[in-house]
């Protein structure tokens, strides 16, 4: 199966320094935050790639670079063989961008409260000059709402219904790739299951490719084909779903799995995760996880581990 998305050595650095005059008076250096560092992975066509990690690990930043909302500092993003940031032909870039849509974390914040649902759903097609006759009504019924809802405003819906509207809008331009940034974290558990089942059904029905960004391991286990684990902007492990959840190789992945809630885990004793995520402006030397790692040795403190293959798993750990 061919790769629809190819991410190579992706890096994004933000300048979070104080204003120049403050730095001059206080004699402070520039502060650079490396949100994403040298990340590489591929997403095969018609599969679901899960990207997991704690808050601040760089998941959403990668998602925004893949859809073209944020340029990378270094590295490349190719979708369908087209580099979104270096391709010289504007028509190819525009065509590729129309094949990508994004579902955001907060369904209400991503819907214009002054627009009716019909205008919200039809907007991606209207911008491209396509035919919108009956489009909103068809898509609303496809995502489990009523065609009559097209004349309403976003505030007239519940959170789960708003997320269904966001899904309908994302499907309007017939995309190949959907980047889903924490699509259910703002919803309660019963509604989460409905939205996830809807997304799973649509993926099979329409042959879509998903990048599913989440901190919820149960969501990723339910949906993803392959999973990448991020820590402090670096990809530390990547494996097929079954391998990652049954035989994790990286200590950080094991820590995440042990801390996740389990239906059969009532009364179990679990040690809480050790330590806090280090300051991304001043990360630890060597392996960034070594201050929290139970397996760390002297080599981990001085030498950053490189990705290597262990079976079908890629892992960045000296001790794996």
Residue of higher predicted confidence among 54 and 238: 238
Report whether pLDDT(154) > 80: yes
Domain membership of residue 79 (yes or no) is yes
Whole-number pLDDT of residue 157: 92
CATH number at residue 179: 3.40.50.300
**Has residue 178 got a pLDDT over 90?**
yes
In a domain, 278, yes or no: no
Whether 199 is covered by a domain: the verdict is yes
Tell how strand 308-310 and strand 313-315 pair up: antiparallel
Q: Is residue 107 part of a domain?
A: no
Tell me the backbone φ, ψ of residue 202, rounded to 5 degrees: -65, -35
Q: Tell me if 181 is assigned to some domain.
A: yes
Question: What's the pLDDT score for residue 219?
Answer: 87
Statement: residue 271 has pLDDT above 80: no
- Per residue in 1-59, pLDDT (tens digit) is 678 999 999 999 999 999 999 999 999 999 999 999 999 999 999 999 999 988 888 99
Is residue 272 assigned to a domain?
no
Kindly state the helix (H) or strand (E) to which residue 273 belongs, with its residue range: none
179-184: average pLDDT: 89
More reliable by pLDDT, 265 or 260: 260
d(CA 43, CA 226): 9
- CA 288 remoteness from chain centre: 21
SS3 124: helix
Q: How many helices (H) and strands (E) does the chain have?
A: 11, 12
Give the residue-averaged pLDDT of 241-263: 87
pLDDT greater at residue 94 or residue 62: 62
> Quick check: 265 pLDDT over 60?
no
d(CA 68, CA 94): 11
β-bridge mates for residue 12, sequence order: 36
Q: What percent of the chain has pLDDT over 70?
A: 95
The Cα diameter of the chain in Å comes to 65
pLDDT at res. 195: 87
User: Which regions of 16-104 does DSSP assign to beta strands (E)?
Assistant: 32-44, 48-52, 74-79, 82-83, 100-103
Is 36 contained in some domain?
yes
Beta-carbon neighbour count of residue 156 at 10 Å? 12
**Beta-carbon neighbour count of residue 3 at 10 Å?**
17
Report the candidate in 231, 233, 257 with the shortest Cα–Cα distance to residue 244. 257
Average pLDDT, the chain: 89
For 217-233, how does the pLDDT look when each residue is reduced to its tens digit (9 = 90+)? 888 988 999 999 999 99
The rounded distance, in Å, linking the Cα atoms of 270 and 123 is 49
Q: Which domain holds residue 9?
A: 3-99+175-244
Q: What pLDDT score was predicted for residue 262?
A: 67
> Is 60 contained in some domain?
yes
Query: How many domains is the chain built from?
Result: 1
């Amino acid at each position: 199966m061919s790769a629809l998305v190819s991410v190579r050595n992706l890096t994004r650095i933000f300048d979070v320094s104080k204003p120049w005059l403050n730095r001059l008076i206080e004699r402070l250096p520039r502060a650079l935050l490396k949100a994403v560092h040298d990340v590489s992975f591929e997403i095969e066509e018609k599969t679901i790639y899960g990207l997991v990690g704690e808050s601040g690990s760089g998941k959403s930043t990668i998602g925004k670079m893949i859809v073209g909302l944020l340029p990378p500092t270094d590295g490349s993003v190719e979708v369908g063989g087209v580099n979104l940031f270096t391709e010289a032909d504007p028509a190819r870039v525009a065509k590729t961008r129309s094949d990508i849509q994004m579902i955001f974390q907060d369904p209400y914040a991503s819907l214009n409260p002054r627009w009716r649902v019909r205008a919200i759903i039809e907007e991606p097609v209207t911008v491209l000059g396509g035919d919108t006759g009956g489009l909103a009504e068809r898509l609303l019924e496809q995502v489990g709402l009523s065609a009559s809802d097209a004349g309403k405003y976003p505030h007239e819906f519940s959170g789960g219904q708003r997320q269904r509207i966001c899904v309908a809008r994302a499907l309007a331009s017939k995309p190949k790739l959907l980047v889903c940034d924490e699509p259910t974290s703002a919803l309660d558990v019963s509604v989460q299951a409905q939205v996830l089942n809807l997304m799973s059904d649509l993926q099979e029905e329409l042959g879509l490719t998903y990048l599913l960004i989440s901190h919820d391991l149960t969501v990723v286990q339910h949906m993803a084909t392959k999973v990448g684990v991020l820590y402090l902007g670096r990809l530390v492990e990547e494996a097929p779903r079954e391998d990652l959840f049954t035989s994790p190789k990286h200590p950080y992945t094991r820590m995440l799995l042990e801390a996740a809630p389990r239906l059969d885990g009532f009364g179990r004793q679990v040690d809480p995760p050790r330590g806090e995520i280090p300051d991304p402006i001043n990360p630890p030397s060597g392996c960034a996880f070594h201050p929290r790692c139970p397996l760390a040795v002297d080599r981990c403190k001085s030498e950053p581990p490189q990705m290597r293959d262990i079976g079908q798993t890629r892992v960045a750990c000296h001790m794996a």
